[in-house]
Structure 1
Amino acid sequence: MGDGRHETRTTAAVDPVIRARGVLPALRSDAAASDRRNRLTVSVLAALGSAGLLGLRGSEGRDGRQLDCNTIGAVVATLAEEHASAAWVVGSFARAAVQVAADPVLARAASEHGEGLLIADAHGAPARAVAVKGGFRLTGLWHSVPGSAHADLALVSFVLPGGDPEHPVRAVLPMSQLTRHETWDAAGARGASPETLEAEGVFVRADAVGAAGLRRGYDPAHAIVPASTVVGAASGALDHALASVRNRPWPGTRYETAAESATIQGKLTDAAMHISSARLHLHRAATSADRYAVDAAAMPPEVRIRSRVDIGCATSAAVSALDSVMSAIGAQAVAETAPFERAWRDVQTLSRHAAVDPLTAREAFGHFLVGRGGALHEIPL
């Protein structure tokens, strides 16, 4: 590939989170360019590819264990400290790779197209399928698919003729058989190029259809990626703020630098505590998702709802953290050349992703608590 994304791969024996931290300098220098171009630059793709972070495989977790939601979330949050768009793409590719690896039918179908290919996760409303000789023909749209401009394959969902819409099946399709529409015009996460994918009568063999294990409803494992991106971007902004205030003059006060101000210290402390809270909520949601990774449909409703509100709380806390950072930095934070401004746009955009929306999560959890008489202690950890 001419974009450099399939260059030398780092051994999986190295913790992927350590690898992610190692590429942050390269991401920092190219984040603005990716934002302007509405896709990841060749340099960013090369850095991620050299570190083995594009298309993380199912066995590339910490210490060689299975790649789990906590590890994916940690990698995504680390990358998002400097480049939220790259983080969202890497996390989405990793989620797709894990799902494909866990299903023998999908794994075989993907391998027929080659090894080491990048798979976009077209998570969303399923397409329609019409039965034909030897398989099915799919017609439908999958919106806001991160990294679709750089993917080789797409993991898509569809409903079989006469099948249950709540339990769509999945298939792996070559990107060459899909039409890409550049529909993303949001202010943030521009570099992720989350395009709309369209299938018009695309044929899928009957023996290449994956199991109907993924519910159309809320999937905590899917939500971990955008939520971790938001938390990581807020954390990165706090790090930049801490470095900035140490030597920043504070005119009009008795302080020589902003770091000496109790007001500034308090705002940055608030931000740090919000981020700590966000990470704890994310960890619990990811742990619950990992526990039911083999069969997501087996997750008890109360655990699914609690995971949703955990992710919503994490997102809300990250937004509050970034608000405190922006307030501490002042008007300089919204300068187009400042890292805070891009982080603010990315967080404001991704925090409105339906999967991480705090208000929807609150409503679902409140309905559960009232219906169960407030039996919070009955929800298993």
Structure 2
Amino acid sequence: MNDTLPAARDHLVAAAHDHLVAAAHDHLVEAARDLVPALRAGAPAAERGHRLTPGDARFLHEAGFFALHAPAALGGLGASIATAVDVHAELARGSGSAAWCAVILSGAGLLASRFPAAGREELWADDPRAGVCGSFFPTGTGRRVPGGLRVSGRWQPMSGVHHARWALLPVLVQDVQDERPAVEAVLVPVEALDVEPTWDVVGMAGTGSDTAVAQDVLVPQRRCAPFGALLGAGAPDADDPLRSTTAYSAVGVCAGAVLVGMARAGLELVLDALGEGRPLASSTYADARDAPGVRFDVASAARLVDTAGLHLARATGEVERGAREGRQLDVATRARVRADLATITVSTRAALGHLLDAGGARSFAAGNPLQAVWRDVEVLSRHPLLAPGLNVDVYARTLLGSQEQVAAFV
């Protein structure tokens, strides 16, 4: 009988933990949902100003949405990937740009949480809600000096740089003994960088994805780490499952959540407009909802949005299982996650096409928010994390047993 006591205690502890996690998840998702009206109202100004409005950025920072994965041990939220996905999808219903900034700042924070203890403590010592912007591409160089690296380079686009306190920058470091340069990640205060206004696009304009420039910035060793090691799964840690998350896949599903959230917003906008009972132009239909073509487009869009959401749920589930089990996802699973992202991209693009057809030519009026959602989806879906051509190629090579991959990260 005594042997059953530890097992019973462990079961109760696990149940209590799961209850707390669920409560935290629901609280954060509800907080994101509450921000939707404000973000939707601020989106046009963010687009005009090429960055989030100060008010929206403050809302996101105060809610902790710029640092969802900052370690709980340092005062952060330590939110799971599943929670982050649901938060980002809700934020995207209000503003794709706001949600994307939250994805990038929180995702780079997830990588930053795997730096040496002294480095990550420095990041969030003063503000556990501080955001970390970042890049996957080593377009800078590092020169080893006593105590660290001297870093120079340009990183563009750098989404959310105007709202981040730190930047995670991959750099190439040429060591004398190595034939090929190593890729190191460095953490640099944004205030130590120059930010050049180069972001001028027709969609996702509010992300402020300008160019970050470092000019011979000294980075101490505590804020340097091998870049490749950050992207996989960290050391298993029962108290912090995020350290066991396959980071590249995790950032991918969070990116997919923004597309799904924007597609849901587009569907809501069209249903609201049709709910006003307006006539269908150049027809005898006094109510456009009675037109078979409109009904077909609305139902087709809804089915595609649901398809995207189901693939997002499957991919998120894979990432979460890997974290709970303390393991790196295998190549086949990571490739299928990328295939799910391809399906999300194709489905959301197609959904917006049906919604524009259902809405008619008035959907393209400058003041109609549907065309802004469409432009944002078209631009974001070309991001390397989400581009379907490369993601499907990666998946196909895995299915066919190819030993050669064509992506830097799977």
TM-score by length of 2: 0.79
What does the per-residue CA deviation read over 1:123-150, in whole Å, with 9 as the maximum and x for residues that have no partner?
3235322111111111222221211012
Which piece of structure 1 moves more, 317-326 or 174-183? Answer: 174-183
Once the two structures are TM-superposed, the CA of residue 117 in structure 1 deviates from its matched residue by 2.4
Matched, 1:221 2:250: yes
Paired amino acid for 1:230: L
Paired amino acid for 2:380: L
Tell me the equivalent position of 1:248: 278
Contact 2:343/2:388, CA 8 A, preserved across alignment:
yes
Q: What is the correspondence of 1:279-290 to structure 2 with a 5 Å cutoff?
A: 279-290=309-320
Q: What is the correspondence of 1:97-136 to structure 2 with a 5 Å cutoff?
A: 97-103=109-115, 104-111=117-124, 115-125=128-138, 127-136=140-149
Go from structure 1 to structure 2 and tell me whether the alpha carbon gap of 1:71 and 1:12 turns closer, same or farther (over 3 Å shift).
closer
Tell me the equivalent position of 2:108: 96
SS of aligned partner of 2:317: helix
Which piece of structure 1 moves more, 189-198 or 11-20? Answer: 11-20
Q: What is the correspondence of 1:1-381 to structure 2 with a 5 Å cutoff?
A: 15-58=27-70, 66-103=78-115, 104-111=117-124, 115-125=128-138, 127-162=140-175, 168-210=183-225, 212=227, 213-215=229-231, 219-246=248-275, 247-293=277-323, 298-371=328-401
* Alignment coverage as a number of residue pairs: 359
Paired amino acid for 1:46: R
Go from structure 1 to structure 2 and tell me whether the alpha carbon gap of 1:78 and 1:361 turns closer, same or farther (over 3 Å shift).
same
SS of aligned partner of 2:230: coil
Contact 2:111/2:230, CA 8 A, preserved across alignment:
no
Once the two structures are TM-superposed, the CA of residue 275 in structure 1 deviates from its matched residue by 0.9
Tell me the equivalent position of 1:379: none
Paired amino acid for 2:269: H
What does the per-residue CA deviation read over 1:78-100, in whole Å, with 9 as the maximum and x for residues that have no partner?
11112111110112122123333
Aligned-residue sequence identity (percent) comes to: 26
Paired amino acid for 2:365: A
Which piece of structure 1 moves more, 94-103 or 276-285? Answer: 94-103
More helix by share: 2
Contact 2:152/2:213, CA 8 A, preserved across alignment:
yes
Paired amino acid for 1:145: M
Once the two structures are TM-superposed, the CA of residue 238 in structure 1 deviates from its matched residue by 0.6
SS of aligned partner of 2:31: helix
SS of aligned partner of 2:211: strand
Give the whole-Å Cα distance in 1 for the aligned partners of 2:329 and 2:179: 18
Give the whole-Å Cα distance in 2 for the aligned partners of 1:236 and 1:366: 32
Unmatched segments (≥5 aa) in structure 1 = 1-10, 373-381
Paired amino acid for 2:292: A
Go from structure 1 to structure 2 and tell me whether the alpha carbon gap of 1:167 and 1:309 turns closer, same or farther (over 3 Å shift).
farther
SS of aligned partner of 1:256: coil
Give the whole-Å Cα distance in 2 for the aligned partners of 1:126 and 1:291: 33
Once the two structures are TM-superposed, the CA of residue 54 in structure 1 deviates from its matched residue by 3.3
Contact 1:168/1:215, CA 8 A, preserved across alignment:
no
Go from structure 1 to structure 2 and tell me whether the alpha carbon gap of 1:35 and 1:67 turns closer, same or farther (over 3 Å shift).
same
Paired amino acid for 2:230: L
Once the two structures are TM-superposed, the CA of residue 159 in structure 1 deviates from its matched residue by 3.9
Unmatched segments (≥5 aa) in structure 2 = 1-22, 233-245, 403-410
Paired amino acid for 1:324: H
Go from structure 1 to structure 2 and tell me whether the alpha carbon gap of 1:330 and 1:254 turns closer, same or farther (over 3 Å shift).
same
Give the whole-Å Cα distance in 1 for the aligned partners of 2:184 and 2:325: 14
Give the whole-Å Cα distance in 1 for the aligned partners of 2:53 and 2:309: 29
Give the whole-Å Cα distance in 1 for the aligned partners of 2:126 and 2:185: 16
SS of aligned partner of 1:117: coil
Once the two structures are TM-superposed, the CA of residue 180 in structure 1 deviates from its matched residue by 1.1
Contact 2:46/2:53, CA 8 A, preserved across alignment:
yes
